[in-house]
């Protein structure tokens, strides 16, 4: 049986809480924040504001150019504070992604906490060590750079990503 892995990412944004929430709670912006090698496409996304129970369907190419459908559900929303998306169908046995927003002096501190499990037991764990862990880190490093492009960098701050 595979273990539950955790990724934790913290980034500071030099914008208001309202501006950060507006951007990150719009699922359409996920395309901007996802590296091109994943070829992410959102299928049939409703244009209303995110809400608990909202289901979003994506097409993604995570490994070896093989397209997969990925369905997530927004399970919790506390406007301006946090939201959670969970995989309902896709490449993981478990995907639980928390997005937290906390106002700080001069902007917002955003924390992502992702719990995930890889399929295929020991083979999946080996793939995690050799491929998936590095890809997760690349995706969040890409995201960090994109966020800095959209909002501007926080002076002297770097990305803090921990994958366990």
Distance (Å) of CA 103 to CA 18, 80, 89, 96, 149? 10, 9, 33, 23, 20
Domain residue ranges in the chain? 4-163
- Kindly state the average pLDDT of the residues 152-163: 70
CA distance 115 to 117: 7
pLDDT above 70 (res 8): yes
CA distance 45 to 47: 6
DSSP letter for 30, please.
Answer: G
pLDDT in tens, 63-97: 677 888 999 999 999 999 999 999 999 988 999 99
User: Structure tokens of 145?
Assistant: 């750079």
Per-residue model confidence (pLDDT) at position 46: 66
- Kindly state the average pLDDT of the residues 132-152: 84
pLDDT above 80 (res 31): yes
Banded pLDDT at 162 (limits 50, 70, 90): low
- Kindly state the average pLDDT of the residues 120-127: 73
The pTM of this model reads 0.88
User: Cα 26–30–36 angle (5° rounding)?
Assistant: 160
Residue range 4-163 in CATH 2.60.120.380: no
Say what the alpha-carbon torsion angle 18, 19, 25, 28 is, to the nearest 10 degrees: 160
Nearest alpha carbon to residue 139 among 107, 91, 103, 102: 91
Higher pLDDT, 140 or 113: 113
């Amino acid at each position: 049986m595979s273990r539950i892995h955790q990724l934790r990412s913290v980034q500071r944004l030099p914008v208001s809480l309202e501006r950060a929430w507006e951007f990150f709670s719009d699922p359409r912006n996920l395309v901007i924040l996802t590296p091109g090698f994943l070829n992410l496409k959102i299928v049939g996304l409703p244009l209303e504001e995110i809400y608990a129970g909202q289901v979003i369907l994506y097409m993604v190419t995570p490994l070896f150019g093989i397209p997969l459908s990925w369905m997530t559900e927004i399970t919790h929303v506390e406007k301006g504070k946090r939201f959670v998306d969970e995989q309902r169908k896709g490449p993981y046995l478990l995907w639980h992604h928390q997005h937290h927003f906390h106002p700080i002096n001069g902007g917002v501190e955003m924390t992502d906490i992702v719990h995930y499990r890889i399929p295929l037991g020991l083979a999946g764990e080996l793939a995690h060590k050799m491929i998936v862990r590095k890809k997760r880190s690349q995706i969040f490093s890409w995201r960090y750079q994109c966020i800095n492009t959209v909002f501007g960098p926080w002076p002297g701050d770097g990305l803090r990503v921990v994958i366990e």
